[in-house]
Structure 1
Amino acid sequence: MKSPFLFLFLITGLLATNAQSGKVFDQLSMKSEILDSERKFAVYLPPDYETSQRNYPVLYLLHGAGDDQTGWIQFGEVLRITDLAIKEGRATPMIIVMPDANTGVRGYFNSINGDWRYEDFFFEELMPHVEKEYRIKAEKKFRAIAGLSMGGGGSFMYALHRPELFSSACPLSAYVGPLSMDEMEERLKRNKETYNKKDIKAYFDKHNALSLIQNMPVEGISSVRWYIDCGDDDFLYEGNSLVHIAMKKKEIPHEYRVRDGKHNWTYWRESLPNVLEFISDAFHQ
């Protein structure tokens, strides 16, 4: 007969192993009045979420064009990478929220004519919903934003538009917006969108990272900790390099990383542990 103590030891060990894993839910949804639709989002909950009573910092993690709220889970391996970073002490336990910006109209911004208001949805509906639904510390110090490609552009814009809300922003391989009015107008032409030049200029100024950095008060931008990362073979290297130069000229503190790599998930999976460590430093300050 096997010892009951050995059985108890094995069961305890199994429970301890299971308790070390976080959880992801990738088909959550909420009703949006602003977008007049049901909106999906995904959430990562840290390993001790169900066994503790405390509140957690939050990272809003944005996907790229063509993906949805499942991208960071399926291809970015956010569960494995975050669990490991927490276990190794590189990251503090946190909640990660991953919204879908690929349904209806692709992207994280309001449209020029105002008939699609995704950014308003994000700040006025999604953020209040998740910060009420989950035990999230709803303060600037404990809130960060990051994303890749299109989501990197969203990270730039959201943190620049609302610097009072985020302690850190980590754009990865970011699309920083059209680099000129000509480029903006050409893109609209390809999409068969027609607007007057005044509206186009106003939209360009508000949705171009370089324009915002050049025209915003330095104090607001500097209140956010910046981690900008783009591969040396990435087709979006120019915009990220120009943002780095613009920040240097205005003496805005930021971390700028150029590693060997392209615009792909291999690069972003390698970026994520550094992002988690970087934003955790801000959470602890």
Structure 2
Amino acid sequence: MTRFRTVEVSDPRFEHEGLRWLTVRGRGLAGRGDITVHVPPEVEGRHGVPLVVLMHGVYGSHWGWAFKGGAHRIAAAMIRSGEIPPMVLAMPSDGLPGDGSGYVRQSRADYEEWIVGDVPAAVRHATAAVGDGSAVFLAGLSMGGFGALRLGARHPDRFRAVSGLSSATHLDQLCGFMAEAPGWEGAGVEDPGVLEAMLRAKRLPGIRFDCGTEDPLLEGNRALHRGLEAAGIAHEYVEHPGGHTWEYWERHLPETLRFFAARS
């Protein structure tokens, strides 16, 4: 039985700058999910191309990384210059409950399975360049950074490396960004903290994260760094000037892509 009940893919005649749009009804969500995909021309005729999944923060959706951060243009320029190999970007919605799903399992839907299982499978459906042998990388900003770091720890067999930009490091931190009670309250979420998830893992993917020195989540990132150092867990952590803004994420996304390229 197929993973998806329905798959809608944009018509190539109307796609622009290598961007493709998918709407799928899969296993994880109670309804449909949207994914913006960047398929650069350099992957034409190739197979086993790396896949990078970029996750957004609270209030956002699948179009944010492309149309607020220019992620596809950043990746395209780096591919053209030879700085990174050709790779496909997948930018999914989080499932769109309330102000944000946290990318965790909830009673209404399994937003973890949406990212871990449905999104890579949907991209394989949409482009032959990504296949079962493709390395899959996971990254995100804020809530998406929390999702990337936590899901990478929980599913190290699915992701070769993970990266968080300005990441929340515990579910509780996300509540401060939300206008209403999140759907995970009372759901008994496993591993609500990134450090907790990483300490429980028998093995881990490559790990990096960064944060701005004016970011309200800075202390949580520093605490995660200290906790990983104390546990002897290999990782890369960097601080830069800047806050919790798209200007910061646009400027520092290349570091994440270079980190992934070195492991592709």
Task: Give the TM-score taking structure 2 as reference length.
Answer: 0.83
- In 2 relative to 1, CA 251–55 (structure 1 residues): closer, same or farther, beyond 3 Å? same
- The answer as to 2:224 corresponding to 1:243 is yes
| Distance of 1:278 and 1:231 partners within structure 2 | 18
Q: Secondary structure at the match of 1:206?
A: coil
Distance in structure 2 (CA, Å) of the matches to 1:195 and 1:57? 35
The 5 A counterparts of 1:58-77 are: 58-77=51-70
Q: For the Cα contact (< 8 Å) 1:152–1:173, is it kept in 2? A: yes
Question: 1:22 touches 1:48 (CA, 8 Å); kept in 2?
Answer: no
What is the aligned partner in structure 1 of residue 31 from structure 2?
Answer: 37
Instruction: Classify 1:33/1:268 alpha carbon distance in 2 versus 1 (closer, same or farther; 3 Å).
Output: same
Aligned Cα RMSD in Å?
Answer: 2.7
For 1:227-266, list aligned pairs within 5 A: 227-266=208-247
Q: Deviations over 1:214-252 (max 9, x none)?
A: 3333xx12xx11111100110011111111111111111
Q: Say whether 1:216 aligns with 2:171.
A: no
Partner in structure 2 of residue 117 of structure 1 = 110
Residue number in structure 1 paired with 2:13? none
Indicate if the aligned counterparts of 2:161 and 2:260 stay in contact, CA closer than 8 A. yes
User: 1:145-168 CA distances to partner (integer Å, 9 max, x unpaired)?
Assistant: 100001001101110110111111
Q: Which ranges of 4 or more aligned residues in structure 1 deviate by more than 4 Å?
A: 183-188, 192-196
Deviation at 1:178, TM superposition (A): 4.1
Structure label with greater radius of gyration: 1
Work out whether residues 56 and 143 of structure 2, in 8 Å CA contact, stay in contact via their aligned partners in 1. Answer: yes
1:8 corresponds to: none
**Does the CA contact (< 8 Å) of 1:34 and 1:117 recur in 2?**
yes
Query: For the structure 1 residues 249 and 30, does the alpha-carbon distance in structure 2 shift closer, same or farther, using more than 3 Å as the test?
Result: same
Deviation at 1:271, TM superposition (A): 1.1
**3-state SS of paired residue (2:256):** helix
In 2, Cα distance between equivalents of 1:81 and 1:187: 28
CA distance 1:281–1:195, change in 2 (3 Å): closer
- 1:23 equivalent in alignment to 2:18: yes
Structure 2 CA distance for aligned equivalents of residues 209 and 236 of structure 1:
13
Counterpart of 1:55 (choices 38, 48, 59) is 48
Residue of structure 2 equivalent to 1:89: 82
Q: Give the partner amino acid of 2:192.
A: H
Retained in 2: the 8 A contact 1:144–1:166?
yes
Distance 1:126 1:70 in 2: 15
Identity %: 24
Partner of 1:10: none
Q: Residue in 2 aligned with 1:15? A: none
- Per-residue deviation, residues 48-76 of structure 1 (Å, max 9, x unmatched): 233x2433110011111111110011011
Pair 1:171–1:192, CA change in 2 (3 A)? closer
After superposition, the Cα gap between the structure-2 partners of 1:55 and 1:164, relative to the gap in structure 1 and judged at 3 Å, is: closer
Q: Is the 2:48–2:135 contact (alpha carbons within 8 Å) kept by the matching residues of 1?
A: no
Q: Which amino acid aligns with 2:159?
A: F
Paired AA for residue 191 in structure 1: A
| Residue 274 to residue 34, structure 1, CA distance change in 2 (3 Å) | closer
- The residue aligned with 2:181 is 191
Structure 1 unpaired stretches of 5+: 1-20
How far apart, CA to CA, are the structure 1 residues paired with 2:43 and 2:165?
A: 28
Contact 1:110 1:117 in 2 (8 A): yes
Q: How does 1:81-160 map to 2 (within 5 A)?
A: 81-101=74-94, 103-105=96-98, 106-107=100-101, 108-111=103-106, 114-134=107-127, 135-139=129-133, 142-160=135-153
1:274 to 230, 252, 255: 255
Aligned to 1:169: 162
The number of aligned residues is 245
Alpha-carbon shift at residue 102 of structure 1 (Å): 5.2
Q: Which amino acid aligns with 1:227?
A: R
